[in-house]
Structure 1
């Protein structure tokens, strides 16, 4: 069954879409729709990337809580930085963070985390995936930021996807 219908939901959606677009439910429409619903998912099944292998769900739960906390704290810090910009300008800077994480799903999660936390922007991933360029809104100590970023986000993601 899995060989002919690798994705049952996709096949059902294709058949429904075929019938809606044809605006008819005749025998020929059902037959052609069924052929499309079986053949299209079977042809694209090899293109589907493998799913992530998640390890250590408790580490994932802690990471989610840590990111939620960091979002709130960073939002307050960025807001305070914007309000006091007239007296002390934020020290925005680009930081190159060396990466040990190589899993594509882990890197995608790291990109999402970086984008969600206020004050950080994911700028560029090196072609060899060995380093990441991040812009930080207000940077006091580059080495401390890199150590904190790796400890809070990269290390748990390595455990989860490793």
Structure 2
């Protein structure tokens, strides 16, 4: 009976908490909406096809986070210089990045990392999950950019999501 009403209590609690955090309000209407979503979202999620994450070496994430923070700082400075400079010098383009990752959770994490880094944006995953379309604000050598993403971000993610 409890399982039918609340398929995933942790997911319900998470949805409830995040709704309140995003609303930044504790009025009765907000609490009611949070409760409704906390009940509804696990029911909707239960109908989706699930692919469970198989985690490997999660300790790889610690140096990856530090690398990502450094890359974000450097990319912010680079993008600021590019945006404030002459627009004609920008070489904006879409690039398909071939993926070795097969787990959707790993692909999602990689796409998020790419999007977090200023100047790049993950925009599409191919139907077969073998290529990720990335928009780059300024790239002169697409292959070098692909190699950089695969070496800096995808290689560690392959160890986390084998």
TM-score in terms of structure 1 length: 0.70
Conserved? CA contact 1:6–1:45, under 8 Å: no
Conserved? CA contact 2:98–2:131, under 8 Å: yes
Conserved? CA contact 2:110–2:154, under 8 Å: yes
Q: For residues 116 and 7 of structure 1, do their structure 2 counterparts lie closer, same or farther at Cα, with a shift above 3 Å needed?
A: same
TM superposition shift of 1:3: 7.1
Residue 73 (structure 1) aligned with residue 74 (structure 2): yes
TM superposition shift of 1:67: 1.2
Query: Which string of whole-angstrom CA distances, capped at 9 and with x for unpartnered residues, describes residues 78-112 of structure 1?
Result: 001111125x5211111111111110100110121
Conserved? CA contact 1:59–1:160, under 8 Å: yes
Q: For residues 89 and 44 of structure 1, do their structure 2 counterparts lie closer, same or farther at Cα, with a shift above 3 Å needed?
A: closer
Q: For residues 70 and 6 of structure 1, do their structure 2 counterparts lie closer, same or farther at Cα, with a shift above 3 Å needed?
A: same
- Equivalence for 2:158: 158
What does residue range 86-97 of structure 1 map to in structure 2 within 5 Å? 89-97=89-97
Provide structure 1 residue ranges, at least 5 long, that are not aligned to the other structure: 15-19, 22-36
TM superposition shift of 1:124: 1.4
Query: Which string of whole-angstrom CA distances, capped at 9 and with x for unpartnered residues, describes residues 44-78 of structure 1?
Result: 89647465232212211111111111111111100
Q: For residues 6 and 132 of structure 1, do their structure 2 counterparts lie closer, same or farther at Cα, with a shift above 3 Å needed?
A: closer
What does residue range 5-44 of structure 1 map to in structure 2 within 5 Å? 7-8=8-9, 10=12
Q: For residues 141 and 44 of structure 1, do their structure 2 counterparts lie closer, same or farther at Cα, with a shift above 3 Å needed?
A: closer
Name the count of aligned residue pairs.
138
Q: Within 1, Cα distance between the matches of 2:60 and 2:157?
A: 8
- Equivalence for 2:58: 57
Conserved? CA contact 1:63–1:153, under 8 Å: yes
Between Structure 1 and Structure 2, whose CA radius of gyration is higher? 1
SS of the residue 1:61 aligns to: helix
TM superposition shift of 1:132: 1.3
Provide structure 2 residue ranges, at least 5 long, that are not aligned to the other structure: 17-27, 30-38
TM superposition shift of 1:143: 1.3
